[in-house]
Chain A
Amino acid sequence: MDESEDLTQLDPRYKTMMQLIAAIVAVALLVGASIAEFAIPGWTGIVWVPAALVVAYLVFYLPMRRYATRGYSLVEERLRVVRGVLFHSDTVVPFGRVQHIDVGQGPLERGFGLATLTVHTAGSHNASVSLPGLAHEDAIAMREEIRAAIRRDTQ
């Protein structure tokens, strides 16, 4: 990515949150693997070893990669959202096309003080662009900035 230097990184707490979510999945996976391990007679570790590899990938590698590939920028009255590890997507929404803005917080996000900013356009495909993993006060500030830009335009 040659244009990525002007991107703002997401809040570092988002990385921790993604790891926590992955850890919850991992625990369920390990429980399943353990049951399978005891149920299947044979060598110890035939299920545990692959399960441990998957868990390591999910909890340690993937959140890092996802965090590293995500970013946003708010220059020239445009919101740019970049995401995707395998399938890359790089979206630009000019402020003039934003119909309404949501700032949402799930229970986990509340615990970490994070928020998701979602902007909606009138498009019928790709109509809402969401940007998770912002510090809550940053999300509020971005919302205010976009709203101010919209009001300035319509006056």
Chain B
Amino acid sequence: MTAREPDYRRTDPKGFIVRAAMMLAQLVIPLGVAAVTIFDDGDFGGKIVWAAPFIAAIILFNLVVAYLQWTKLTYTAGATDIRVESGVLSRAARSVPYERIQDVSLEQKLLPRLFGLVEVKFETGAGGKDDLSLTYLSEGEGERLRELIRNRREGAEDEASESDTERATKQVDTIFAMGPKRVFTFGLFEFSLAVVAVIGGLAQQFDFLLPFDLWDLDEWEQRLAGPGQWLAGLGPLAQVAGIVIAVAMLVVLGVATGLVRTALREWDFRLERTSKGLRRRRGLLTRTDLVMPLHRVQALRLNTGFVRRLFGWHSLKIISLASDSGGANHDAVPFGQMEEIQPVVGVTGFDLPPGDTTWQRAMPEYRIDKTVLAVIVLLPVTAVVAAVGSPWFWLAPAAGLLFTLAEQWWRWRHDYRALGERQIYSKHGWFSPSLAIGSRVKLQSVDIRQGPLARLRGYASLHFGLAGGRLRIHGMPLAEARRWREEISRSISSADFSELLETKGAPAS
């Protein structure tokens, strides 16, 4: 056993209550299942007397384990590293040097939030699982630890050379926020067909759980006819009404799901500019608090949707080195108009493409080849299915073919690339158009790829190595691809990667 550090700390004692409550919640489900399987022969009262002591013992055992785990989990914020020691029977001690901690994020799930507790996660860039986390600390302690680590990491030299401008940015200014009304609008656009399909499928699978039969049109007829006899006389019209109601119910469910999901995730969204970078807080039940250091921003992605494009709604994602939960893309502005997004883009040190940018399309040969390939594959399939399969089955491959043709046409119209002074731009996508903005200096490698067909027809794809994301441009003329690579390689060579990371707080340039 390792010797305890003199000034070690324990996690918050209330965390023990939360853990115990969670453990009990996990216990209830297996116990419930066990109870149903054991006691389903009816004699419930007799056997429960025998089972009760066992259940009590299990609960007590869990409480004891949770308590022991709490007493044995200690952490120390030392001079050069943070150490966490844990384990009842087998002890584990982990030390993470401050230089290796990329970011500290605080997360509050519902139960801890009621007790005012936070989970503190230390991101080391080791990729997910191996990161260090402390469950649960009080909110104040979490904030203190975060400040402590930030300051340790920035080191004394930054402290000393901190200029007046740096101090001025210490004051926090909110650069984007979403009120309840905006979240509601966002939720309406989050209506997803997939959810409707899933609910529809589930309704069909589990319709025995519903108090009525969703798909039985006759019953709908009766149901509708019940209150007013006049509907019964209408016959086929009532059937149509039944279908309309079923569809309307699915739509309402889809909208409601979208609203609830969005509200849970995005409630009270705030994006602030602090001296350490962009700070984002959001969430209704699980409130997350995340800081994206500006110098770690690698690229931006501006997305929109098929419908929301018409209303001018866009979203801005930041591709960064530190990993967000679930992906390296951080939502900076989930749902906003362009004039709201513009200042955020400015803060990250990137620029939206200027008006005089010369946009270029992919080569026509590239689009034609893709279209021809799709036709070669799908047309015979359609023909064969039409000849052999059941009457309406050929519609599926035919629809696929039409979709591909429409997609290629759309992408020919809307996919563009441009090489700017400091940045590269790539517009692509068909259902959800997106614009990627990459900094030329921050790319890692450039790769020209050509398949056999591409070599024959003289086009190439450019694949860029990007920390935290992917950036590809297809269908460029080979000479153009070479020119881009030459220029970008020169930009990359102009600054070493460690320089990019060490200019802390300074926006990308």
Taking Cβ atoms with an 8 Å cutoff, the residues of A that contact B are 3, 76-78, 84, 86-97, 99, 121-127, 129, 150, 153-154
B473-509 CB contacts (< 8 Å) to partner A? 482, 485, 489, 492-493, 495-499
B451-473 CB contacts (< 8 Å) to partner A? 451-452, 454-455, 463-470
Choice from A86, A91, A94, A121 contacting B451 with Cβ under 8 Å: A86
Q: State whether B493 touches A94 (Cβ < 8 A).
A: yes
Q: State whether A78 touches B493 (Cβ < 8 A).
A: yes
- With A97-B492, A154-B498 known as contacts, the answer to whether A127 contacts B449 (CB < 8 A) is no
Q: Hey, which chain A residues are within 8 Å of B495, CB to CB? A: 96
Task: Name which of B42-50, B71-79, B284-292, B440-448 contacts chain A.
Answer: B440-448
- With A121-B465, A154-B498 known as contacts, the answer to whether A126 contacts B447 (CB < 8 A) is yes
Q: State whether B446 touches A92 (Cβ < 8 A).
A: yes
B127 CB to closest chain A CB, in angstroms?
10
Q: Hey, which chain A residues are within 8 Å of B492, CB to CB? A: 94, 96-97
- With A77-B493, A78-B489, A86-B451 known as contacts, the answer to whether A97 contacts B445 (CB < 8 A) is yes
Q: State whether A90 touches B498 (Cβ < 8 A).
A: no
Given known contacts A97-B497, A124-B469, A153-B499, what 4 new A-B pairs fall within 8 Å (CB)?
A86-B452, A93-B465, A95-B493, A154-B498
Q: State whether B449 touches A87 (Cβ < 8 A).
A: yes
Q: State whether A125 touches B463 (Cβ < 8 A).
A: yes
Q: Hey, which chain B residues are within 8 Å of A121, CB to CB? A: 444-445, 465, 467
Number of interface residues of B (CB under 8 A): 32
B228-274 CB contacts (< 8 Å) to partner A? none
- With A122-B444, A127-B465 known as contacts, the answer to whether A88 contacts B496 (CB < 8 A) is no
Q: State whether B466 touches A124 (Cβ < 8 A).
A: yes
Q: Hey, which chain A residues are within 8 Å of B485, CB to CB? A: 92
Interface of A is mostly: mixed
Chain B residue nearest to A99 in the complex (CB): B497
Interface membership of B321, Cβ < 8 A? yes
Q: State whether B445 touches A92 (Cβ < 8 A).
A: yes
Chain B residue nearest to A96 in the complex (CB): B496
- With A3-B482, A87-B450, A121-B444 known as contacts, the answer to whether A126 contacts B463 (CB < 8 A) is yes
Q: Hey, which chain A residues are within 8 Å of B214, CB to CB? A: none
Q: Hey, which chain A residues are within 8 Å of B469, CB to CB? A: 124-125
6 example contacts (A-B, Cβ-Cβ < 8 A) are as follows: A78-B493, A90-B449, A122-B444, A123-B467, A126-B447, A127-B465
Q: Hey, which chain A residues are within 8 Å of B447, CB to CB? A: 89-92, 126
Interface membership of B225, Cβ < 8 A? no
Q: State whether B449 touches A124 (Cβ < 8 A).
A: no
Q: Hey, which chain B residues are within 8 Å of A94, CB to CB? A: 445, 489, 492-493
Q: Hey, which chain B residues are within 8 Å of A154, CB to CB? A: 496, 498-499
- With A99-B497, A154-B496 known as contacts, the answer to whether A126 contacts B451 (CB < 8 A) is no
- With A93-B444, A94-B489, A96-B492 known as contacts, the answer to whether A122 contacts B497 (CB < 8 A) is yes
Q: Hey, which chain B residues are within 8 Å of A95, CB to CB? A: 493
Chain A residue nearest to B465 in the complex (CB): A123
Interface membership of B347, Cβ < 8 A? no
Q: Hey, which chain A residues are within 8 Å of B448, CB to CB? A: 88-91
B401-456 CB contacts (< 8 Å) to partner A? 443-452, 454-455
Closest 9 pairs (CB-CB, A-B) = A123-B465, A123-B444, A121-B444, A153-B496, A88-B450, A90-B448, A91-B447, A93-B445, A125-B470
Choice from B452, B493, B498 contacting A76 with Cβ under 8 Å: B493
A84 CB to closest chain B CB, in angstroms?
8
| Bound-state Cα–Cα, A88 to B455, Å | 8
Chain B residue nearest to A150 in the complex (CB): B496
| Bound-state Cα–Cα, A154 to B493, Å | 12
Choice from A84, A92, A96, A125 contacting B497 with Cβ under 8 Å: A96
| Bound-state Cα–Cα, A45 to B496, Å | 61
Interface membership of B374, Cβ < 8 A? no
| Bound-state Cα–Cα, A25 to B382, Å | 40
Chain A residue nearest to B441 in the complex (CB): A96
Interface membership of B328, Cβ < 8 A? yes
